[in-house]
Amino acid sequence: MAEGKIIVIGNEKGGTGKSTLAMHLIVWFLRQKKKVASIDLDGRQGTLTHYIQNRAAYSETHHIELGLPEHLTVTVRNNPTEQECSEDGAAFCKQLETLQKENDLIVIDTAGADSHLFRLAHAVADILISPINDSLIDLDVLAKVEPETLTVKAPGHYAQTVWQARQKRAKARKPQMRWFVLRNRVMHVSTHNEKLIWKLLEALGARINFTPLRGLGERIIFRELFLKGLTLLDIGQFKTGVTMSMAHVTARQELRSILQAIGEESVSGD
């Protein structure tokens, strides 16, 4: 049996929609009849964990069979010693190995801060998806921008972390990681700032080998769905109390576009 593929949602920046994207990917793959496991590496905040718990509660309360992944929550220690880092890393790898034997895909949602497990997750990623908000402030973790010419001057600290993870994979003779950067929470009106960020991402992607993608737009619906543990993919499939609108249709198409670009599954209409 082939080992399950590892998809890591990572960025050294909080508030970029990592957990929302992770949950939508999980539900998509479950609907493709895949066996899916998930890991929340931000056990302290636990957004993905709470999302899955909300989904389980909604399923039980409304007697609906909603797909759920095999889920693991990990809390990273504060200021661990070198020995503790080694022990935690070994335990994480052992758990991951077990999950890979039992599942087709493992989706790992990371915290928006650097840690030893954050770096380890990046090193084991077959596919890395890095959502960023559509702003020059968020772009700073990926690239240092020359203020006068507004061109990429050098890779940022998170880009360097990904480079180090790729070096570890190469040393272990693992296939090269595929890296996608999603411009999440994009406004629906094209602006000079939007065009500038896309230009910078294309330039940086060509330089350090990632594919820039348009992500999920900014919509209040994502906050509402979180409380019920639901996703865009559930609307219209069950009695969710959410009325389908054009905004939902557009958002689902955005999700399908992401999946098509990643190339994990054929994306057919519902």
Global pTM value: 0.90
- Please state, in angstroms and as integers, the Cα–Cα distance from residue 11 to each residue in 44, 53, 118, 147, 161, following that order: 17, 24, 9, 23, 10
Domain 5-262: state its class. Answer: alpha beta
Taking only the tens place, the pLDDT of each residue in 33-66 is 999 999 999 988 899 999 999 999 999 998 988 9
Three-state DSSP at 211 gives: strand
pLDDT digits (tens, 9 = 90+) for 84-138: 999 999 999 999 999 999 999 999 999 988 999 999 999 999 999 999 887 777 7
List the domain boundaries for the chain.
Answer: 5-262
* Residue 269 CA, distance from chain mean position: 23
State residue 266's pLDDT score: 37
**pLDDT for position 233:** 87
What pLDDT digit, counting tens, does each position of 171-226 carry?
Answer: 999 999 999 999 876 655 556 777 888 888 888 888 889 999 987 776 677 888 89
Tokens read off for 183: 């411009």
pLDDT in tens, 130-185: 998 877 777 888 888 887 777 788 888 999 999 999 999 999 999 999 999 998 76
| Amino acid present at 141 | V
Determine contact, residues 161/111, Cβ cutoff 8 Å.
no
Q: Can you give the pLDDT at residue 17?
A: 86
